[in-house]
Structure 1
């Protein structure tokens, strides 16, 4: 959907948007985003209405069982290129525009898809990491996912092609593709030390790095209001910022399709899509250009 088409939907959203505008206008707004923001880019979410049941791999499974690890890398080998081919949507672009205008002071995202970065957000924390980086758990050496793909392709010739067209394969929010037969896949180890490689993503059961937690709190503390966009706040790593903002006396606004764990403490709650709602905010929060003289 184009930006113009999104703006045309304001009539149906006007009462809710007006309430949200009244809350955030003139205030520094921190934004916490989740998978619901990226669905319009073709990336499915985990818990939104109509989402397929998912059972993401845990950190303990990945590190403790070679079969689980092989299964993950085989599926990721097929799915990561789909993630790389996605593009920011109107919601990502709206937040970047609002940051440039000074209305948004920073973004904390639970997404690993890099779309905020590609849309132009600057003061950004990728709380759960990024799919396009790979890290050695032994020595900490980090490489790009693209460079690892060269090695995995050489170790597994024809594997990706044998899975069929990527567009016909179900892709999860962490770039994991639904591939059933993975027993023959060969996993690559760290080129420097031979250690275990893992996507630079926080898995279920893994702890978010302390520096990212601290930086996210700083973004919330530096703002006057917190806006949650596209997250059910089911995971504690995101919910704690909503609760922290309210405990600090800051208003909390939520835009999400479906219920969230912070609905009972929200000042403003919109059951709506993020792309159309954030785009509808733009004309109300961006500075009005001066009229030409004469």
Structure 2
């Protein structure tokens, strides 16, 4: 059991053969009063086949994601991004919500969860039925024009790109990354043709927050308001390495609200956690749903 300064934290480590039930019981105590906001990260989607950035096999170990400055600074940078994204994004689009996503939606329908904030851009919370999830970093299934601001469906862009590039030589690609792109040889990138906005001819960008780009202020404020109105925070599958997520842990802890973290590996919020569970989300979250249902039934 790990100790966390300033808290009486529970920690369940990934012991072979260990049950997730102890962690579920501790989490149930936090959620039983309802009004909990979920903050989810890439670790929630790994069981759907989407890798994370910072986990044990995180892609930051061998992949440098596109930055906002590189994308907006040159056509070459945009060509590289769109070629690699065109080769990989359908694998993201085909991904299905896993047991963790469905458990979060079950907790929301049951009244334990009052809101969901996700750092993921894969749309899997929406696919699981959590339509009101705030996508902090945007969504890969949308495209925005940097000139006129028009937002269109990624499917529409895909049709246009396939019309120009046919059976793109790099379409098979390599390993898909969390931002939906894959590594491609330079010759494949050089031959790829990109398209402008169909409305004004401006530069098209995926409707996601790149590294080096700020989350829109109204979206941040919406999340701040959710956390402010909540009774506590449940972090799922995030290392909290970036401030866009860590700020909500700090906000909750400063207000004296419980912070529960479920993540395999250390996080930057561990010193503020009142409950800390280090088991796979696909095991912990369904067990949590069952524990809360059993507690409710026992109460009559």
Same fold (TM over 0.5): yes
Deviations 1:108-155 (A, max 9, x none): 000000000010114310000000000000000111000101111111
SS at 2:140's partner residue?
strand
Cα distance change on mapping 1:10 and 1:219 into 2, 3 Å: farther
Matched, 1:284 2:279: no
Structure 2 counterparts to residues 1-294 of structure 1, below 5 A: 12-52=19-59, 53=61, 54-159=63-168, 162-163=169-170, 165=172, 169-180=174-185, 181-286=188-293
Q: Is the 8 A contact 2:87 2:182 kept in 1?
A: yes
**Which portions of structure 1, spanning 4 or more consecutive aligned residues, are displaced by more than 6 angstroms?**
287-291
Rounded to whole Å, the distance in 1 between the matches of 2:28 and 2:281 is 14
Shift of 1:18: 1.8
Alignment: residue pair count: 279
Shift of 1:248: 1.2
Deviations 1:94-120 (A, max 9, x none): 000110010111100000000000101
Q: For the aligned residues, what is the CA RMSD?
A: 1.8
Q: TM-score, normalised by structure 1?
A: 0.91
Rounded to whole Å, the distance in 2 between the matches of 1:179 and 1:98 is 40
Where structure 1 has 5 or more consecutive residues not aligned to the other structure, the ranges are 1-8
Shift of 1:156: 1.0
Rounded to whole Å, the distance in 2 between the matches of 1:287 and 1:143 is 45
SS at 1:138's partner residue?
coil
Q: TM-score, normalised by structure 2?
A: 0.89
Rounded to whole Å, the distance in 1 between the matches of 2:292 and 2:167 is 51
Shift of 1:27: 3.0
SS at 2:19's partner residue?
helix
SS at 1:47's partner residue?
coil
Q: Is the 8 A contact 2:34 2:111 kept in 1?
A: no
